Amino acid sequence: MAAELRRLRADAGLSREQVAEQTGVNEGTLYRIETARARPQRRTLIALLDLYSVGEPMRADLIELSRSADGQGWSRPYQWQLPGEYAVYISFEAEARAEHNYESLFIPGLLQTPEYSRAMSQGVLPAATEPEIDERVQARIERQKLLDGPEPLQLWAVVDEAAVRRVVGGRQVMAAQLEHVLAMMKRPNVTVQVIPFDAGAHPGMPGSFIFLEFRDEGDPELVYVDAQAGDMFLESEDDLRRYRTMFDHLRASALSPARSADLIASVKEGRLE
């Protein structure tokens, strides 16, 4: 429902601010509805459908969907431990056709082994309890199932060499992690490139991000930024253009997939010495 309401607003050519002005629906409330963090009240949904000129049968379908929507999905058991924005991101990722992921310090989540994921979570969240760490690791394992199946997610990951060389969880854990990345790179739906240290400064140095493209062409693309100040979803055309261009520059700065595999293999062998 959240995806459909975003699409309807985009088709109407309206910003959230304009919708708030014309319906009286608070802009923050609209954001939570469109990111699946809140279910709209019936009067709110009807006001939106009226503004977007939604007719039957879609109108009845959305009203019924709102009545029955309760956040079902594989991530639901884990959401009590996951940040709200991250849980929302998981629901968006499950709908995606392709994911472009840049990481400056970590191996991408969809390519992490459980051992690496656990060590990374413990390092990043030193105050987290073991049950909280368990929930995060399990959520990541469930996410990785998107890379399997008859229509798997198309993953294109670009990582800084720092992510490959940083020893997370100890030498053996890191060696196994790099071996897993090399194995995943053999899949037709997984592409990994490494930006070497000698490439110098590049557009990804300010931080990591994920660019999602959806199976339904009516769904707008989405950028997810995980930052210390809080996670963000970006969907304006200016932001999408900026991050799309940034990822193109990162791919151009990186080694080819074949040379990236050679670098990862050489680092892995160094871990085993």
Looking at residues 126-139, what average pLDDT do you find? Answer: 92
Q: What residue segments make up the domains of the chain, in order of their start?
A: 2-68, 76-271
Window from 4-8, 113-117, 188-192 with minimum mean pLDDT: 4-8
pLDDT tens-digit series, residues 147-169:
998 999 999 999 999 999 999 99
Q: 272 pLDDT exceeds 70?
A: no
Residue 237: per-residue pLDDT:
86
Q: Which amino acid is at 7?
A: R
Q: Per-residue pLDDT tens for 5-27?
A: 888 998 899 998 899 999 888 88
Q: Which residue has the higher pLDDT, 135 or 100?
A: 100
Fold for 76-271, please state it. Answer: Endonuclease; Chain A (3.30.870)
- pLDDT above 60 (res 265): yes
- What's the pLDDT at 65? 76
Please state which of the ranges 27-36, 173-182, 189-198, 223-232 shows the lowest mean pLDDT.
Answer: 223-232
Does the fold of domain 76-271 match that of domain 2-68?
A: no
Distances (CA, A) of 19 to 48, 60, 175, 271: 8, 21, 51, 55
- pLDDT tens readout for residues 205-236: 999 999 999 876 666 788 999 876 667 888 88
Tokens representing 29 are 């409330």
Kindly indicate whether the domain formed by 2-68 is annotated with CATH number 1.10.260.40.
yes
pLDDT at 273 over 90: no
Mean pLDDT, residues 173-185 taken together: 98
Is residue 42 within 8 A of residue 254, CB to CB? The reply is no
Amino acid 4: pLDDT: 85
For the chain, give the DSSP string: -HHHHHHHHHHTT--HHHHHHHH---HHHHHHHHTTSSPPPHHHHHHHHHHTT--TTHHHHHHHHHHH----STTGGGTTTS-HHHHHHHHHHHHEEEEEEEESSS--GGG--HHHHHHHHHHH-TT--HHHHHHHHHHHHHHGGGGSSSS--EEEEEEEHHHHHS--S-HHHHHHHHHHHHHHTTSTTEEEEEE-GGG-S-TTTT--EEEEEESSTTSPPEEEE--TT--EEE-SHHHHHHHHHHHHHHHHHSPPHHHHHHHHHHHHHHHT-
Q: 190 or 135: whose pLDDT is higher?
A: 190
Average pLDDT score over the chain? 87
> Tens of pLDDT along 84-113?
667 778 878 888 999 999 999 999 999 999
Which of 160, 128, 267 minimizes the C-alpha distance to 118?
Answer: 128
CA dist., res. 30 & res. 44, Å (int): 9
Instruction: Examine the pLDDT at 80 and tell me if it is beyond 50.
Output: no
Q: Could you give the CA distance from residue 210 to residue 222 in angstroms, rounded to a whole number?
A: 8
- CB contact set of 50 (below 8 Å; sequence gap of 6+): none
User: CA–CA separation, 176 vs 64, rounded Å?
Assistant: 48
Lowest mean pLDDT among 30-34, 46-50, 102-106, 186-190: 30-34
